[in-house]
A and B are shown apart, each in its own frame.
Chain A
């Protein structure tokens, strides 16, 4: 059964289309990872899901439509930078209380203490202000605030990107514990594929406003079908491996502008597309669509063709 179901989500900013007909289902209680480069539309999807950006398309939670403001409360977003997502003039208690509706004052305080405890914070910090907390503590306050609204779906948009490595793990462990304890459905957005693999059950790779590959996280990472996913994977620095300096899945060009419309948006950079193999004319003329019905699908004309230089991981 689908926890969160998104169909044909499209977001336009004036003349620019940031998200082009994105559809996906996240099973109840599972975590979908959303990866892609900056400008791929992953954060716009997050903003559209919580109603911060006007969008076209349908969104449902367990079959119920998400259009009223009250229904939207069932989807909560945790922002990247807790420094700007918490009002500096609020106390921690006031921050978390913002997510509570219909509580009496004393009950609300008790509930805030419960929520702080849930995110492994000492409830005694309820009176401090965000400016006096560490980055990891602030991000946990932001998570507690989102949980106060009792969401069915939690969207985490680069929640650890502005944290130091030693603190990032605290927040990741917390999110995994919460998911197990509360049965949260999550959309986890990150540019860090290692984090996404650790956190997610399924993985969607976005490029230029579309999902170009979708499937079970381990499968997408170990048997990537789309050449863009493969070049993303080849670009992850790994300790002491000197992988980045190897030749595998090097992109054909460094251009960042998408090519003129028609055909595959990745074709100019694609290591197996027309830039590398001029006979692949189809990439210039026909926009690839993902094979429907497969659990693991990729929007590429040559999706099955594996790059032999990618060694399956242990």
Chain B
């Protein structure tokens, strides 16, 4: 408790230092720029030859110059010149660079030429460019501002070009084009506002760099000319006497370093603020484990999941719970489908079973068993068992295959690692597996990389990898969602055929209840991290008990719908993983909900043999059949 408080206090202190100090310094610099010349202007310009070239003393903290002027006062007064010039230089560089960047990102013809110029300029160190431009634009304040601005322009152009390229292909920019808006409108209304944030950060950091660059130019005598002075000029004047009266060099140096650091820190602080600008609500009460008895599960099941819960700490300290309470079992050779819309927790359930939930995710369950191995306390043997007997097929087959690794290596990996097979044997088996998933010319495909295969072919490879072990359970997470219907059919037929041959169980996850009903013996319907209904496929389709299932069935378009009737529809959205409701999570959208549903959570009850539903008013009770009028908008 105490430790936690101390650490949180320390954390707060750290945040205050990193956040507050740059802010205070920026304000100080702004104040000095505005007020210093009128407060200390006289001290800074009053020459007093009698006190010339003095060292550090009580009267002159940093000494005096060769005309007896106070160095500290001069340094403070020079803040205005130094910073105003730096800001101007950044503005010049920003305007030129952003303009060039926008032009080159918008016009294909210009982009190549401008891109080449930007590339060349970026290759030179900025200070070198600044010196070159200073000579070109002439010595003095104007020349040095233009020079530093010009040396910044390539950097601004590059970042603008990159950011613009990512925004310009966004559909809202295309939509604007379709609506007849011109390129200027699109640039100022869509592109600039959407790239402004990073550009402002980049500019803030560059003010610091500009201070350094301008001081450098002045120091070299290329910048501001006497009688005007900035920090660089002061440093130039003082450097010859650094060993005699060190104050004259130290004061402007400290000012330069401080200003540079301040603007860099301020820029980073700004980017932190923008990155995490959502306000942090207080930590939330953790949900207690539901008290209802677990469903009686048949002994000897292949997979046994009881009260599974997956949670993640969110960035703002809250807890999000994509899987709230899931209990089911899967018998050997059985095919079970999990259906749910996006955000229902179906994929996360699969990930928890396959031990794929990574830190900081947290998996809790009363029981999580696969082939009698406890997945809640996995040891080496369990890992081997999983590698050998559980296969997983993912939605995006391209993501699941490492682009740098050959297809063949992907295939033999499980056999070599988990079955300790020799590479040669594994390769023979891999070629057989490729043939089994109907890949033509397997020897050639074995040597290829994933980008050389089509989407359907990659998914076949994914399934072939599953075949390489001795899979007792195949978990397929939306394996056909990214594929065309004809290819989807091929893959489903393949999964079906391989299931018959290997007698492996299947856990098939999909948003499409029709696809699931094609393959599976039993269907589980998930909503907002809960199982809301579970039944044999036929029974679920014929007499759904949960209103959500009934809506899902009625809203899924099928061939031969009556065109004169509107589709059954239900508006609203599923409560997110960060919601914490006392009652039924579907109640807000449910046509049958009453006050009970809002206040207390319905348990997953057995309604008939093998048919479970979590609803206070299940539709299978007489007189409660769904009416399309009730839920149509």
Chain A residues close to B by CB (< 8 Å): 37-38, 50-52, 69-70, 72-73, 75-77, 79, 81, 84-90, 98-99, 101, 120, 134-136, 142, 145-146, 148-149, 164-170, 172-173, 176-177, 191-195, 197-198, 221, 231-232, 234-245, 250-251, 253-257, 313-314
Docked complex Cα distance between A70 and B178 (Å): 10
Contacts of A168 in B (CB 8 A): 555, 557
Contacts of B558 in A (CB 8 A): 194, 238-239
Contact B555 A251 (CB under 8 A): no
Chain B residues close to A by CB (< 8 Å): 170-172, 174-181, 189-190, 193-194, 341-342, 438, 440, 454, 456-457, 484-490, 492-493, 496, 511-515, 517-518, 537-538, 541, 551-553, 555-561, 563, 566-574, 589, 632-633
Docked complex Cα distance between A242 and B632 (Å): 29
Docked complex Cα distance between A274 and B412 (Å): 36
Contact B178 A72 (CB under 8 A): yes
Contact B568 A169 (CB under 8 A): yes
Contacts of A172 in B (CB 8 A): 557, 567, 569
Distance in angstroms from A235 CB to nearest chain B CB is: 4
Contact B514 A239 (CB under 8 A): yes
Contact A134 B572 (CB under 8 A): yes
Contact A240 B490 (CB under 8 A): no
Contacts of B492 in A (CB 8 A): 237, 244-245
Of A101, A145, A235, A255, the residue contacting B485 (CB under 8 A) is A235
Docked complex Cα distance between A271 and B471 (Å): 33
Contact B194 A89 (CB under 8 A): yes
Distance in angstroms from A135 CB to nearest chain B CB is: 7
Report the nearest B residue to A76, measured CB to CB: B178
Contact A242 B518 (CB under 8 A): yes
Contacts of A84 in B (CB 8 A): 170-172
Report the nearest B residue to A149, measured CB to CB: B179
Contact B569 A240 (CB under 8 A): no
Docked complex Cα distance between A134 and B538 (Å): 32
Docked complex Cα distance between A168 and B512 (Å): 13
Contact B178 A173 (CB under 8 A): no
Query: Could you give 14 example pairs across A and B, Cβ below 8 Å?
Result: A37-B485, A51-B177, A72-B180, A79-B171, A98-B179, A120-B633, A142-B175, A164-B511, A164-B574, A165-B511, A195-B557, A235-B489, A242-B518, A256-B457
Contacts of A192 in B (CB 8 A): 557
Docked complex Cα distance between A164 and B348 (Å): 18
Docked complex Cα distance between A166 and B511 (Å): 11
Docked complex Cα distance between A170 and B570 (Å): 7
Contacts of A38 in B (CB 8 A): 484
Contact A166 B341 (CB under 8 A): yes
Of B176, B454, B553, the residue contacting A239 (CB under 8 A) is B553
Distance in angstroms from A273 CB to nearest chain B CB is: 15
Of A134, A148, A169, A221, the residue contacting B573 (CB under 8 A) is A134
Of A87, A142, A221, the residue contacting B190 (CB under 8 A) is A87
Given contacts A89-B193, A167-B571, contact A51 B178 (CB under 8 A): yes
Question: Contacts A166-B569, A197-B559, A251-B490 given; 15 further ones with Cβ under 8 A?
Answer: A84-B171, A87-B172, A87-B193, A87-B194, A98-B181, A136-B573, A164-B342, A165-B552, A166-B341, A169-B555, A170-B569, A239-B514, A241-B518, A254-B440, A254-B456
Given contacts A85-B175, A197-B560, contact A170 B180 (CB under 8 A): no
Contacts of A314 in B (CB 8 A): 560
Contact B556 A239 (CB under 8 A): yes
Docked complex Cα distance between A203 and B394 (Å): 33
Contact A239 B560 (CB under 8 A): no
Closest A-B pairs by Cβ, 10 of them: A169-B569, A164-B341, A169-B567, A37-B484, A85-B171, A235-B489, A237-B514, A134-B573, A235-B485, A194-B557
